[in-house]
Structures are given as structure tokens and as C-alpha cells.
Amino acid sequence: MGYDLNLIFKIVGVGILVGAAHYILKNSGKEDYAFLATLGGLGIVLIWVIQLLGNFFEQVRSVFKLF
């Protein structure tokens, strides 16, 4: 359970940092960099979620003794 909360707090932290970076960059006239910062944050979170799903499927495979 602690692992799941840790991941949620990481995702929230990245969201806050990316939101602040996007706001600052957009207001300073650098919309392209704001988009890249948002895209980078999304990429980081997607990598974490994909790794978590991979671990989940490995656990399901080991519990049901598949393959």
C-alpha cells in the first residue's frame, strides 16, 4: 500500500512542477518550451505507469502460473 501512495505523490509532484513550468514559460512568451515541458512530464509519468503495469502483469502471471 505504501508503494502505491508513493507513486501517487510522485505523479502529483510532477504535475505541480510541470504546471508551474508551463505557466511560467507560457507567460514569458515561450509557448514551444511550455509544450515541451508538458510533453516531458507526461512522458515521465507514462513511463512510471507502464512499469507499474508491467509489474502487475508479472504478478498475475506468477499467481496463475501462466507460461
Q: What domain count does the chain have?
A: 1
Closest CA to 34 of 47, 23, 49, 46: 23
Q: What's the helix, strand, coil split of the chain in %, to 5?
A: 90, 0, 10
pTM of this prediction?
A: 0.82
pLDDT tens digits, the chain, 67 residues: what are they? 556 789 899 999 999 999 999 999 999 999 999 999 999 999 999 999 999 999 999 999 999 988 7
pLDDT for res 2: 56
Q: Find the domain containing 32 and state its range.
A: 2-63
